[in-house]
Copies of this chain bind each other. A is one copy, B any other.
Amino acid sequence: MPVKYKYPRPALTVDCVIFGLDDDELKVLLIERGIEPFEGKWAIPGGFVVPGESVDAAARRELLEETGLKNVFLEQLYTFGDPDRDPREHVVSVAYYALTNLAGHEIKADTDARSAAWFSVHDVPELAFDHDKILEMALRRLQGKVRYQPIGFELLPPKFTLTQLQKLYEIILEKPIDKRNFRKKILSMEVLIELDEIQQGVAHRAARLYSFNEKEYRQKEKKGFSFEL
């Protein structure tokens, strides 16, 4: 359905950088492009914004359509608006980043039967468009934000051990953390619920499980408390 406008306007897309946490690596979900431009190249999943849907909604829709993911943490990252980032025409893209726990969600085959795969963020193939720039920015944002907002939990299953949590920070921040100091700090914030459950099926002493107390966190936050690693 072709349309006419009084003045030209750039096209508008959304792109979603989807992070997942493996045992000892941070991964990103990429999709192999089935059409030109950049056919055969890997890219961050995304698509065009349909007028009448909010840009946020477009991001959620693309996320669902291309990966089957829903109810995940999704936040706007930045808008990329260089006129030559797409060889066809001026396409402005509002980039988002999503956090999900890799184990929980199987990634379904994409509707267009293109293949999707997880890559280590430090070993990513050449990407289409300016997607390397977008990915780099998403990584930096995640590294920054994880230290003063409790978003790391989004990368873990709902019940996790303190060691898993610590490892998460070590992987994202790319530096080792002292075990005792980490536990002291995180527990002193009192935003974790100590569950009456322990890890199953491990070949050593099973660790206690915890969950993030989001309600408690929101209350504390209102009273001026601020989460800091």
Give A79 to B15 CA distance when docked, in angstroms. 13
Assembled-state Cα–Cα distance A50/B78 (Å): 19
Q: Are B53 and A83 in contact (CB under 8 A)?
A: yes
**How many Å from the CB of A52 to the closest CB on chain B?**
5
Chain B neighbourhood of A79, CB < 8 A? 55, 76, 79, 94
What number of A residues sit within 8 Å (CB to CB) of B?
A: 33
B7 with A1: CB separation less than 8 A: yes
A44 within 8 Å of B (CB atoms)? no
Q: Shortest CB–CB separation between residue A95 and chain B, in angstroms?
A: 9
Question: In the complex the two chains form, is B3's CB within 8 Å of A7's CB?
Answer: yes
A5 touches B7 (CB 8 A): no
Residue A217 CB within 8 A of the other chain: no
Asked if residues A49 and B81 are in contact (CB atoms below 8 Å), the reply is yes
Q: Is A89 an interface residue (CB 8 A)?
A: yes
Q: Is the CB of A51 within 8 A of B90?
A: yes
Task: For A5, give the chain B residue with the smallest CB separation.
Answer: B3
A111 vs chain B, min Cβ distance (A): 18
A81 and B52 in contact, given A3-B4, A8-B1 (Cβ under 8 angstroms) = no
